[in-house]
Amino acid sequence: MSITLILIALLAFYVACNLGANDVANSMGTSVGSKAITLKQAIIIAGILEFTGAVLFGEEVSQTLATKIANPMLFAATPQIYLIGMVTVLITCGLWLQIASSRGLPVASSHAVVGAIAGFSWVAVGIDAINWSTIGLITIGWVVTPMISSAIAALFYSQIKHWILDHPNQIAQLHQWIPWLSVILLGIFGVIVLPSLTQPLTNYLNQQIGLNLPNYDIPLFTGAIAAIALTINSWQQLEQVEETADKEQIQITPHSPLPTPTESLFARFQLLSACFVAFAHGSNDVGNAIAPLAAIIYIHRTSSVPINGVTIPLWILILGGAGIVTGLAIWGKNVITTIGENIISLQPSSGFCAELATATTILMASRLSLPVSTSHALVGGVIGIGLVQNIKSIKFSTIQGIALAWLITLPASAIFSAAIFSTARIFFL
The 10s digit of each residue's pLDDT in 350-409 is 999 998 998 888 878 766 666 678 888 889 999 999 999 988 889 999 999 999 999 999
Q: Is the pLDDT of residue 328 over 70?
A: yes
pLDDT in tens, 263-315: 888 988 988 888 887 887 777 777 778 888 888 888 888 888 877 667 778 88
Name the more confident of 257 and 311: 311
3-state secondary structure at position 1: coil
Name the more confident of 378 and 200: 378
**Distance (Å, rounded) from C-alpha 161 to C-alpha 347?**
12
Name the more confident of 85 and 341: 85
335 Cβ contact list (under 8 Å, min separation 6): 21, 22, 24, 25, 29, 100, 101, 104, 105, 106
**pLDDT confidence bin for 1, thresholds 50/70/90:** low
Which pLDDT does position 311 carry in this prediction? Answer: 74
Q: Is the pLDDT of residue 248 over 70?
A: no
Q: Please give the average per-residue pLDDT across 171-189, as a whole number.
A: 88
**pLDDT confidence bin for 413, thresholds 50/70/90:** very high
pLDDT in tens, 56-105: 776 655 555 555 566 777 888 888 998 999 999 999 999 999 999 888 88
Q: Is the pLDDT of residue 258 over 60?
A: no
Best-predicted range by mean pLDDT among 32-41, 64-73, 147-156, 186-195? 147-156
Q: Please give the average per-residue pLDDT across 228-239, as a whole number.
A: 86
Q: Please give the average per-residue pLDDT across 1-26, as a whole number.
A: 86
Which pLDDT does position 257 carry in this prediction? Answer: 46
**pLDDT confidence bin for 215, thresholds 50/70/90:** low
- Could you give the dihedral angle defined by the CA atoms of residues 33, 39, 41 and 45, in that order, rounded to the nearest 10 degrees? 80
Chain-wide mean pLDDT for the chain? 83
Q: Is the pLDDT of residue 238 over 90?
A: no
Q: Is the pLDDT of residue 323 over 60?
A: yes
Under DSSP, the state recorded for 391 is G
**Distance (Å, rounded) from C-alpha 19 to C-alpha 12?**
10
